[in-house]
Amino acid sequence: MEWIYKYLLPDQEPPLTRYTLGLLAFSQTLDMTSAKIKLGYEPRISMEQGLDEFVRCWKF
């Protein structure tokens, strides 16, 4: 797919690249426990609020 965009549609980005497929191939779970304990970090907004905001912005 990348070569099609590179040679036939050079002014456009391909929707999928080898890099993005590589990112999608792995599952990640990120944990903030260490930052909370060692740095006293507290998120400004909750996960639920963040997801709500993401969905609201994504609709535009």
Whether 32 shows a pLDDT value over 70: the answer reads yes
Percent of the chain with pLDDT over 90: 45
pLDDT number for residue 38: 97
Query: Residue 53: left if φ>0, alpha if ψ -120 to 50, beta else—which one?
Result: alpha
Q: Give the pLDDT band (50/70/90) at residue 60.
A: low
Spans of all domains in the chain: 1-57
Residue 41 neighbours by CB under 8 Å, 6+ apart: 32, 35
pTM given for the model: 0.42
Mean pLDDT of 13-19: 87
DSSP letter, residue 15: S
Average pLDDT, the chain: 89
Mean pLDDT, residues 7-29 taken together: 86
